Each structure stands twice: as C-alpha cells, then as structure tokens.
Amino acid sequence: TASKGGGRLTHTMRWYGVIILILAMSRLADGFSTRLPTFQQKITRSQSCFEPSFASSSRPRTMGSPFHRSLRAGGGPAPPTPTKPDHGVVKLLEDCQDWGLARFISVNPAGSVLETSARMDLSMTGFNVPGKGQYLTIATNDKLFECHINLAKVQSVSFSQDPAKIGGHTLHVMRLKGADGLLLSIMLQYDVSQGPGKYFEGSVEAFEKTMAKYGPETSFG
C-alpha cells in the first residue's frame, strides 16, 4: 500500500512539474515577443532613404538606412521640400504629363538594365544631398514607382522616333543625357493588349507636341 501511495505521489509531482514548466515557458515567450520588432516597425526602419517623411509629429523623422546615416554624418540631406525644384527638367516633365503610360529604362554600366512603366502625370519633389547636388524625385501617388534624378548631372534632353531593331515599329523615345552619357530613357508604352507599335489613343500626338516644343535636342543651362 505504501508503495502504491508513493507511486501516486511521484506521478502527481511529475504533472505539477510539467505544468510549472509550461507556465514558465509561456511567460518567457510573452516577454520575448514584446522585444521583437513588429512588421510595421521593420517596414518603417527599412523605409527608402529617398522617401520624404511627413510624420504627424513636429519633430523631423529620423531616416534609418545606412545610406542616410552616412549622409547625416556629413551634414545630412536637407529636409525634402514639398515644392518642385526650379529646374528645366521639372518643366520638361510637366510638359510630358499628357503622354499617358510610359516605359522608364535605366542602364547600369555594371551590367543590369531596369525597365518599368508608369503614367507620366507623376508627383515631383526635390531634396539636396551634400556633395552631390539637388535631386528630383518623380513618383506615383502610391509610391510603387519612384525615380530619383540628380539634376546637376542632366545636361540635355533629346527626342527620337526611330524604328525598333526587332519588329520595325516606331519607338517614341526621350533621353536625359549627362556628360558621362545617358542617364535615363523614357519612351511611350504600347498597348500590350494590341501589340508592339499600337499606342494608346492620343499618346503619340502628346509626345510629338513635346518634341516640337524642345526640338531634336535641347541643353539645360
């Protein structure tokens, strides 16, 4: 009888031990989870170094990317300005807002080519980077498209209407150029549902209107 009573006591103590262990692990997990950054905090910390921050607080928001920290160490970028910079490129892009959908092409000499599309009625803001000059940010309202142009690097713009190397359809292209070569190409995007060379209604006329205003090539003073 004593042996059976001892067995039951040992069994009960084991269950108490298991319960205590579970409670301890639960408290530890709760404490650990409060120290982990939330998904929103991760997104905030990884915010694009170029994106202007308009927090509700009167204090400027700290931008946390390594690039921005390095800039701030050298005096930091000037706070993004909600107004458009006074530059000929801004006026040029304003004259392109009726183009509709366009394709942006950027060639990296290291070995990559980026192509993406956006409508030309983009928002425009400016900011200064110490030692590099003034940048222009063009972006869609949802920020799914953003492009940053160093205005100090832009020397001229050219327009062309040439046949494509493949297919022979006409390409309507505007190119921003600098002393070191091509900075950015912007061309009309054809209607993919219709095929290459089939542009959206009114887009070619809008391109030709801009080209007639600026000529084959125009320099920015």
Of 60-74, 121-135, 194-208, where does mean pLDDT reach its minimum? 60-74
How far is 136 from 220, CA to CA, in rounded Å? 15
For the segment 194-210, the average pLDDT, to the nearest whole number, is 97
199 has pLDDT over 90: yes
Q: Read off the pLDDT band of 41 (50, 70, 90).
A: very low
Average pLDDT over residues 161-179: 95
Is 80's pLDDT higher than 70? no
Q: What is the pTM of this model?
A: 0.65
Q: Read off the pLDDT band of 46 (50, 70, 90).
A: very low
Whether 110 shows a pLDDT value over 90: the answer reads yes
Q: Hey, which of 3-17, 29-43, 191-205 has the most confident mean pLDDT?
A: 191-205
pLDDT tens digits, residue range 172-185? 999 999 999 999 99
Mean pLDDT of the chain: 79
